[in-house]
Chain A
Amino acid sequence: MSVNIEHIDTIDPNKYDELGIGKEDLIWFWRTMVLIRRFEERVIKLFEEKRLVGASHLYIGMEAIATGVMRALDKDDYIVSTYRSHGHALARGISPRLVMAELFGRATGTNKGLGGSMHASMYPEVGIMLTTAIVGSGVPVAAGLGYAIKYKGEKRVVAVFFGDGAVNTGAFHEGANMIGLWKLPVIMVCENNLYGMGGRVDRVTAGSKDFSVIHRAMAYGIRGIVVDGFDPVAVYIAARKAVEYARKWDGPTFIEAKAYRFLGHNLRDPQRYRSREEVESWKKRDAVSRIRRILIEHGYATEEELEGIEAEILREIEDSVEFAEKSPILSFEELYNLIYA
């Protein structure tokens, strides 16, 4: 079986018109990415101030991926997310209040505080059906969601997010095999940020070329798209294609978004496995500042407009912190009622 692998590189802004990308899309991409960036910068500060405790896996540097993918999905579509969840949650439109409250472990959070940072995006109300903290385990669940869609004859699709590390787990392979075998309406979104914790792709993945894992899609007869994960427009175009295929039950797509994690695996990561120079060189590709530049240079927006949006975002984030800190925590007794339906 021959499997088609397509490459979508950074999109030249002069091509936006012919691709149907307009001002509204670009402002949305930029606004969403800034929201994620500023939200997580606030989270880092809250950890430093010891107002937040527990786990925190940050999405900074990878904002373009969730932003591009979520733009291509409809509100009825299903999503399976990962413990690097804040970006997925905010890009899907969950209020920063609910996400922040979840990080604070409050009863007003997306999961009443019981999920915390690693499950903050799990919110079936917006289609995020599962947010898992176990690497690779979302893939078979996505297969089941995809099967149910076909069984019921619906037009939904499933987008399942996972990292480059996931492609070496058994659950990934078992799930990918089912998705490929049954041609399920699933978009597999591999956020390849080059490292699974400290393990760089080429050091942990057999058969990897150019730090890519796309060969794993080929093994299961799944159509592949390798896309620049620093460009929300490119990711959106890739996701839009994949969604189109899936929606007409034309089979799954594996999107490999090539990205980089600007921060450590989590806030405790000493990052001994990579150099400061390496990190700095990747930061030059930052999507947030690049899209901002394009918005101004190509006349989509003025400085004042963007500053206004950014100020609004900062107010929204401050409001979310205030909301979270004022919210109650569940009582221990209440927990016993949440174990069984």
Chain B
Amino acid sequence: MSYAAALREALREEMRRDPNIVILGEDVGAWGGVFTVTLGLLQEFGPQRVIDTPISEAAIVGAAIGMALAGLRPVAEIMYMDFITIAMDQLITHAAKLRFMSGGKIKLPIVVRTQYGIGRAYGPQHSQFVPSWFLQPGLKVVAPSTPADAKGLLKASLREDNPVLFIEAALLYEVTGPVPEGEHIIPIGVADIKRKGSDVTIIAISRTVHEALKAAEILSEKYNIEAEVVDPRTLYPLDLKTVASSVRKTGRLVVTTDEIRSGSVAADIVSKIVEDPDTFYSLEATPEIISSPDMPVPTPAPLEKLYMVNAEKIVNAVLKIVK
């Protein structure tokens, strides 16, 4: 099943189960979502539950807050992650803060779905992956990399009583993989070891999980190095226990991400890992971050290709720190 189909299945199953779930966003209805995630849902659930909105990101998230305050469970779609800055006030200064500033009274079950578009030659305003802007208390941030995780985490998000930012990636929508039959829920805040290994830990975020897995195969076949690939899946709150215990086992750490290096979640993960004395002293080499450079995403496809994280870059990083 494809990643997009897995998301669609999660939405459909949860909407059948819970009439309080509504979807709102730009072209989520008649168009079916520009990445086909909501395709067919309008036909099944009607325009009251699958709401085509004006191009108004602030009001999409703002209205979702109002709906949640009135007892609904809205899924707000922000078509490109770049557009989310327009809704930043509603998401960060309202949704993430309301429970705290109401003394713990207000409950906001909101899922904000978005995706980052890197790898499609769409340029600096349709490609950014900026999850670190959302590491905010009160908000949870998830970024699944596989169809199974996408479905399981979206179902968990739809049952969550806190606002969740659910980050997809354009390049992942057509990725296929097995998705368990029946009730499949993956709890928020739990990392997953995508490949076992003993020589180096590669913590890979979102799309780069697939590059890390390719790199791990190359490292195993050509260099006899066994990499452990860990997907945090939830970026905030981070499952530090799982990622740190892998690092303590292997003694070497590479983090991969489609972010720019400065102020990245990848850098946050490294700092959280090295702050723990046990993990710090288990390191046998300096940690490496394989990210995009501090540069806006270039539009021309060949340049974007050079800009992006790939298996080769990850292999080179590992070879640098593994003797």
B62 partner, pick from A174, A330, A335, beta carbons under 8 A: A174
B67 located at the interface, meaning its Cβ lies under 8 Å from any Cβ of chain A in the complex: yes
Given the interface pairs A113-B103, A140-B90, A340-B99, the reply to whether A145 lies near B59 with Cβ below 8 Å is: no
> Are A341 and B74 neighbours in the complex by a CB distance under 8 Å?
no
- A149 at interface (Cβ–Cβ under 8 A)? yes
Q: In whole angstroms, what is the CA distance A107 to B94 when docked?
A: 21
User: CA A314 – CA B273 in complex, angstroms?
Assistant: 58
Question: Knowing that A130-B69, A178-B63 are A-B contacts, what are 15 other residue pairs whose CB atoms are under 8 Å apart, sorted by A's residue number?
Answer: A112-B104, A129-B70, A134-B93, A137-B58, A137-B62, A137-B93, A140-B62, A140-B66, A143-B59, A145-B69, A148-B66, A148-B71, A175-B59, A340-B138, A341-B99
Across-interface contacts of B53 in A (CB, < 8 A): 178
Residues of B bordering A, CB below 8 Å = 22, 48, 51, 53-54, 56-59, 61-72, 74, 86, 89-90, 93-94, 98-108, 137-138, 140, 161-162
Q: Which residues of B contact A113 (CB under 8 A)?
A: 103
Distance A206 CA – B89 CA, assembled complex (angstroms): 24
Within 8 A of B (CB), among A95-132: 107, 109, 111-115, 119, 122, 124, 129-130, 132
In the complex, what residue of chain B is closest to A335 when comparing beta carbons?
B100
Q: Separation in Å of the A216 CB from the closest CB of chain B?
A: 15
Q: Which residues of A have CB within 8 Å of B51?
A: 147
Q: Which of B59, B65, B69, B138 neighbours the largest number of chain A CB atoms within 10 Å of its CB?
A: B59
Q: Which of B48, B94, B103 has the most CB of A within 10 A?
A: B103
Q: Nearest chain-B residue to A182 (Cβ)?
A: B51
Distance between Cα atoms of A134 and B88 in the complex (Å): 12
Q: In the bound complex, how far is the Cα of B103 from the Cα of A330, in angstroms?
A: 10
Q: What separation, in Å, do the CA atoms of A147 and B138 have in the docked complex?
A: 25
Please, how many angstroms separate the alpha-carbon atoms of A168 and B213 in the complex?
A: 50
Q: Is A139 an interface residue (CB 8 A)?
A: yes
Q: What is the CB-to-nearest-CB distance from A336 to chain B, in angstroms, rounded to a whole number?
A: 9
A309 CB within 8 Å of chain B? no
CA distance A337 to B105 in the complex (A): 11
Is A122 touching B72 in the complex (CB atoms < 8 A)?
Answer: no
Contacts of B68 in A (CB 8 A): 144
The answer to whether A122 and B54 touch (CB under 8 A), given A146-B66, A148-B67, A175-B59, is no
Main secondary structure of the interface of A (DSSP, over half): helix
Contact between B94 and A137, CB atoms less than 8 A apart? yes
A330: chain B residues within 8 A (beta carbon): 103
Our pick among B57, B74, B94, B107 for the contact of A134 (Cβ within 8 Å) is B94
Chain B residue at smallest Cβ distance from A110: B103
Alpha-carbon distance A113/B101, docked complex (angstroms): 8
Chain B residues contacting A1 (CB-CB under 8 Å) are none
> Assuming A139-B62, A170-B58, is B105 touching A145 (CB within 8 A)?
no
Q: How far is the CA of A115 from the CA of B194 in the complex (A)?
A: 43
The answer on a CB contact under 8 Å between B69 and A171 is no
Task: Please state if A341 and B65 are interface contacts (CB–CB under 8 Å).
Answer: no
Q: Which residues of B contact A139 (CB under 8 A)?
A: 59, 62
Q: Is A141 in contact with chain B by the CB < 8 A criterion?
A: yes
Closest chain-B Cβ to A128's Cβ sits at a distance in Å of 10
Choose one: B56, B66, B69, B100; the contact of A338 (CB below 8 Å).
B100
Complex CA distance for A114 and B68, rounded to whole angstroms: 21
- In the complex the two chains form, is B103's CB within 8 Å of A141's CB? no
**Whole-angstrom distance between the alpha carbons of A78 and B99 in the complex?**
18
Q: A140-B62, A142-B66, A145-B66 are in contact. Are A171 and B89 (CB under 8 A)?
A: yes
A-B complex: 8 closest residue pairs judged by Cβ atoms: A144-B66, A140-B62, A112-B103, A148-B70, A174-B59, A144-B63, A174-B56, A338-B104
Q: Which residue on B lies nearest to A119, using beta carbons?
A: B101
Chain A residue contacts of B162, Cβ below 8 A: 340-341
Say whether A143 contacts B69, CB under 8 Å: no
Q: Given that A140-B62, A140-B63, A148-B71 are contacting pairs, would A341 and B161 also be in contact in the complex, using a CB cutoff of 8 Å?
A: yes
* Interface pair B102/A114, CB less than 8 Å apart: yes
Residues of B within 8 A of A175 (CB): 58-59, 62-63
Q: Are B48 and A130 in contact (CB under 8 A)?
A: no
**Chain B min CB distance to A284 (Å):** 39
B67 and A147: CB pair below 8 A?
Answer: yes
The 0/1 profile, CB within 8 Å of B marked 1, for residues 307-339 of chain A is: 000000000000000000000001000010111
Whole-angstrom CA separation of A154 from B197 in the bound complex: 57
Query: Cβ of B101 and Cβ of A115 under 8 Å apart?
Result: yes
**25 CB < 8 A contacts A-B:** A111-B102, A111-B105, A122-B102, A124-B69, A129-B70, A130-B66, A140-B62, A140-B90, A143-B63, A144-B64, A144-B70, A151-B48, A152-B70, A152-B71, A170-B86, A171-B59, A171-B90, A177-B59, A178-B53, A178-B54, A178-B59, A338-B103, A339-B100, A340-B138, A341-B107
- The closest CB in chain A to the CB of B109 belongs to A341
A19 at the B interface (CB under 8 A): no
Chain A residues within an 8 Å CB radius of B104 = 112, 337-338
